[in-house]
Structure 1
């Protein structure tokens, strides 16, 4: 059975984080619970309004019967307002946390890309130096072979 949502449960709600922010399913389920609680309280408010209307009608008719467990409508409105404010704060905090996490992920990706580019540039420079060294060595071998052939042709 689902737990009733209270102001304290909204304030104390902790969402687990995944690689790219909060667990979307967990947040959605929690918001669904809040909506269900609002629906329940809305139905309760409608019931209380009906009771108020009955009391007013009974008072107008001079009757002294009062239904049990009535409470002022203003308290219910305050509760709704309080829950809405808490839900807005949770939403705002979730968005802020997600934006912070996205900024961190982006900064990390940019730093990693810069580092990889730097590493690749160094590798390119090293390989270019090796290629130039091999070209010089090949040229040297070619010249030695050419000189050897010239020496042999003079002997013949």
Structure 2
């Protein structure tokens, strides 16, 4: 119902009926009250629409933030996985190099031990030969030929 309908309403008059002026005054007050309520309803609907727009805006921002968080989480997971893979490859490379170093050291140790054993054998052979040489020289010194040689020189000088 509109204000005009309320204020322009016609009533039939009867004997001892209502005071038309008082009825009109009351209808005007009702119409004013309805106008105020309609204005308040329009204001509240406008506020509700603004709030819904704000809510939709916040939902859009929330959605964007959630997408950004998801994207950052995925990027973080990818970086973490790459770092893990890189770390694993470094560890694998270090283990391989360590095994190679140990292998080379063992080979060098074996070579040095063989060389050491060879030197010991050569030292034993040298010692045995040197001992034989000295023994031969001692034997030579103890032979009678040596004494004869010394006598031979003595006899020549007397003659």
Unaligned runs of 5+ in 1: 1-57
Q: Provide the residue aligned with 1:151 in structure 2.
A: 136
Q: Which has the higher relative contact order, 1 or 2, with Cα contacts under 8 A spaced 6 or more apart?
A: 1
Inter-partner Cα distance in structure 2 for 1:94 and 1:114: 30
Q: 1:98 aligns with which of 61, 83, 90?
A: 83
Distance in 2 of aligned mates of 1:62 and 1:140: 116
Counterpart of 2:62 in structure 1 is 77
Q: Are residues 129 and 62 of structure 1, via their aligned partners in 2, closer, same or farther at CA, if it must alter by over 3 Å?
A: closer
Residue 99 (structure 2) pairs with residue 87 (structure 1): no
- Cα deviation for residue 74 of structure 1 reads 1.1
TM-score normalized by structure 2?
A: 0.55
Aligned runs of 1:7-156 on 2, under 5 Å? 59-60=43-44, 72-156=57-141
Distance 2:43 2:79 in 1: 49
CA–CA separation in structure 1 for the residues paired with 2:140 and 2:69: 105
- Paired positions, count: 98
When residues 98 and 62 of structure 1 are mapped into structure 2, their CA distance, relative to the original with a 3 A threshold, is closer
The two structures, once aligned, show a CA RMSD in angstroms of 2.7
| Structure 2 unaligned regions, length at least 5 | 1-41, 142-159
Q: TM-score, normalised by structure 1?
A: 0.56
Q: Structure 1 residue 98: deviation in Å? A: 0.5
1:59/1:93 CA distance change after superposition, 3 Å: farther
**Structure 2 CA distance for aligned equivalents of residues 62 and 124 of structure 1:** 92
| Structure 1 runs (4+) greater than 3 angstroms displaced | none
